[in-house]
């Protein structure tokens, strides 16, 4: 058995590795430092150093130092402080194409969706065009759509990693979708969007990508032709419990969209 295997077996998988919460780790290291300082003040530097090393080992293998930290954080942290530790994740499918503009305003201004009793409703004509394109588009067409971005220099590689579908470019992760089906739905949306924009030239390709990334909340159909089911899942991580809106295909089960903390 290699040393790495032994180390991995000793680790608490729930709060270490990919499940490690860096912010909780920093807090626990800070607590260990303060504890070490107190021991140094009242005891000796040797004892303080030993205590600090032991504390770091506990954090490394267990994920946190103070027993029950994740549970206490979930239940008793004041909201203002809690928000500091709240894991924030944007819409991952927008990675690599950053831009800041008011998506909702653009969608409503162009009649792609309308605000009805504070809820956005997709325009039936857009929904129809998008549905037809989703079920007729091949993955190769979707990949071609992504490769046509001006900042794409070489052929992209695609792979499933950690339950997500990723596009990589020059060895770096360019974009992530919930599934291959979600990627197809995204680029099907990119195909039909221009004909529904009143001033198409006003928006860059990246902005159109971002617009459709948000519109995927209303994905009307799966590329397999299956309908969409919507549900709220409660996902528990080390220091918080979050609600996640998930869209799945009712036929093939593919996940089409995911949104944390839905409004
Ligand atoms: Zn499907």
pLDDT tens-digit map of 90-112: 343 334 444 567 888 888 889 99
Q: How many angstroms is it from 125 CA to the middle of ligand 1?
A: 22
Q: How many angstroms is it from 231 CA to the middle of ligand 1?
A: 16
pLDDT at 2: 65
Q: How many angstroms is it from 152 CA to the middle of ligand 1?
A: 29
Q: How many angstroms is it from 52 CA to the middle of ligand 1?
A: 52
Distances (CA, A) of 91 to 9, 16, 123, 210, 258: 33, 24, 23, 9, 8
pLDDT at 200: 59
Q: What is the DSSP letter of 114?
A: E
User: Do 249 and 220 form a contact (C-beta atoms < 8 A)?
Assistant: no
- Threshold 0.85, pTM exceeds: no
pLDDT at 88: 39
pLDDT at 68: 63
Q: How many angstroms is it from 139 CA to the middle of ligand 1?
A: 14
Q: How many angstroms is it from 109 CA to the middle of ligand 1?
A: 31
Q: How many angstroms is it from 199 CA to the middle of ligand 1?
A: 33
pLDDT at 144: 83
Q: How many angstroms is it from 183 CA to the middle of ligand 1?
A: 12
Q: State pLDDT tens for residues 154-169.
A: 778 888 877 889 888 8
- Torsion angle defined by CA atoms of residues 169, 101, 246 and 13, in that order, rounded to the nearest 10 degrees: 60
98-107 contacts, C-beta under 8 A, 24 or more apart: 98/206, 99/204, 99/206, 99/207, 99/210, 101/207, 101/210, 103/210, 103/211, 103/214, 104/214, 106/203, 106/211, 107/211, 107/214, 107/215
Angle at 39 between CA 29 and CA 22, to 5 degrees: 5
Q: How far apart are CA 228 and CA 224, in angstroms?
A: 11
pLDDT at 18: 60
Q: How many angstroms is it from 252 CA to the middle of ligand 1?
A: 4
**Residues by chain with Cβ below 5 Å of ion ligand 1:** 222, 224, 226, 249, 251-252, 254
- Residues (pLDDT < 50) of the chain are 86-98
pLDDT at 203: 85
Q: How many angstroms is it from 168 CA to the middle of ligand 1?
A: 24
């Amino acid at each position: 058995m290699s040393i790495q295997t032994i180390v991995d077996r000793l680790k608490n998988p729930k709060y270490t590795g990919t499940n490690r919460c860096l912010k909780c780790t920093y807090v626990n290291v800070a607590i260990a430092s303060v504890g070490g300082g107190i021991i140094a003040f009242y005891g000796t530097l040797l004892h303080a150093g030993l205590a600090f090393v032991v504390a770091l080992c506990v954090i490394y293998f267990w994920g946190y130092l103070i027993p029950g930290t994740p549970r206490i954080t979930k239940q008793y942290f004041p909201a203002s402080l809690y928000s500091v530790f709240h894991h924030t994740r944007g819409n991952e499918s927008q990675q690599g194409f950053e831009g800041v503009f008011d998506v909702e305003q653009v969608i409503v201004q162009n009649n792609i969706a309308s605000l009805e009793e504070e809820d956005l409703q997709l325009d039936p004509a857009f929904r129809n065009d998008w549905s037809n394109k989703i079920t007729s588009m091949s993955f190769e067409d979707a990949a071609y759509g992504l490769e046509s971005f001006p900042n794409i220099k070489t052929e992209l590689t695609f792979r499933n990693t950690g339950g997500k579908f990723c596009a990589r470019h020059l060895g770096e992760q360019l974009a992530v979708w919930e599934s291959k089906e979600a990627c197809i739905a995204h680029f099907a949306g990119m195909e039909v969007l221009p004909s529904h924009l009143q001033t198409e030239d006003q928006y860059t390709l990246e902005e159109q990508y971002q617009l459709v990334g948000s519109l995927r909340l209303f994905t009307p159909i799966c590329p397999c032709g299956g309908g969409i089911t919507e549900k709220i899942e409660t996902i528990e991580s080390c220091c918080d419990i979050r609600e996640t809106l998930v869209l799945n295909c009712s036929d093939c089960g593919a996940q089409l969209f995911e949104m944390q903390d839905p409004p």
